[in-house]
Amino acid sequence: MSSKSRCEVLERARQRYLNRGKEGRGRLLDEICSLCGYERKYAIKVLGGARPIAGARGKKRGGSKPKYGKEERKVFQVIWMAAEQPCGKRMKPTVKVWLPHYEKRHGKLGAKVRQRVLKASAATIDRLLAPSRFRYGKSRCATRPGSLLRSQIPVRTEHWDVKGPGFMEADTVAHCGGSLSGEHCWSLTVTDVHTQWTETRATPNRGQEAVRHKIADIERGLPFPILGFDTDNGGEFLNWHLVEYFQKREKPVAFTRSRAYRKNDNARVEQKNRTHVRELIGYGRLEGDEVAEVLNDLYAKEWSLFRNFFSPVMKLVRTEVKGSRRRRVYDEAMTPFERLKACKNISQKELDRLERKLSEIDPFVLREVIEAKLRKIWKLQKARERKLAA
């Protein structure tokens, strides 16, 4: 039975129900329960007028009037899609950063709409984005042990107690598709423990010299010096190339490694492997110098700016244990650049340079360039596959 037909039946049955005696009401209740599938107590309330008829016209929605409408929902949806679908707690500070650029592209918002958008809580944003999240909703381990220098590189047995930038965690991600055989591209991810500033580079293989070269490239672009460098036990890190790179300098860098098979020792960079690599590239296979070159260009330019200037992140402050329940407490979501500005040991000259760069960037344009380069990467990969299959 359709909703409209059920409403008509119940409207007529309600008039008959009120004018009948006890036995007549009982027979009518049996009929309505059988016809509509209602429980008897619910049917009594509906026919007696204590409950409104579901779907009936003219019945007003209970509670207060909706505060947020289509205009606010549209703003959140556009920014949410362009900003890599963050959760509500990260979305709230994201809106503040992205809203001026949204208004340049889509026109000025009304004063009241703009005020409601900026004042919306994280829970409200999640509620308004629930339909979009439902519609657009979203590894293999490739670490080969490097045994040569395990005795030379110390294990980091406790987390760094850092109060400033410079202590880095690093890891690699394989773009191997369904098989690790043969040569394929790799992504190298390096993230700062304190500010969450993250840089990624791509190589056509995981050779020791290639990885060292990419780490040097990352260090040249960082707005702060490297003070500590922690990795897993893979052979691309535990080698003389990297040991000499960090130790044979005027101020040697503390080079340490995590415990074997303990991913939580490098939890921050492991998280970035997902948000900065897998959510961007996926799990498909990428091969060849040409593909790696375009991917590396994307990482070093647009993706670095997008993630470090326009993507707020949260840091775990503590874990509260009450009986069998664990509750993780996070700090306020901020972009890595905002965290960097709060540091005392960053030169004002460097901060001014980054501020000028930020003022020149439109995140929506940045997103379009990212999508264009991704299309180019997959076009090159498909052309390579066709060539190999021929």
Taking the C-alpha atoms of residue 211 and residue 56, their distance in angstroms, rounded to an integer, is 67
SS3 127: helix
DSSP string, 160-211: ---SSS-EEEEEEEE-BTT---S---EEEEEEETTT--EEEEEESS--HHHH
DSSP string, 237-290: TSSHHHHHHHHSSSS--EEEEPPTT-GGGGHHHHHHIIIIIIHHH-S-B--SHH
Taking the C-alpha atoms of residue 79 and residue 119, their distance in angstroms, rounded to an integer, is 16
CA distances in angstroms from 193 to 164, 185, 226, 285, listed in the order given: 9, 26, 11, 30
What is the percent of the chain with per-residue pLDDT over 90, rounded to a whole number?
Answer: 53
Q: What is the pLDDT of residue 354?
A: 94
Taking the C-alpha atoms of residue 211 and residue 203, their distance in angstroms, rounded to an integer, is 7
CB burial of residue 352 (10 Å; 0-12, 13-18, 19+): exposed
Q: What is the pLDDT of residue 365?
A: 95
Per-residue pLDDT tens over the stretch 42-69: 888 888 877 777 655 555 555 678 889 8
* Ranges of residues in the chain whose predicted pLDDT is under 50: 139-140
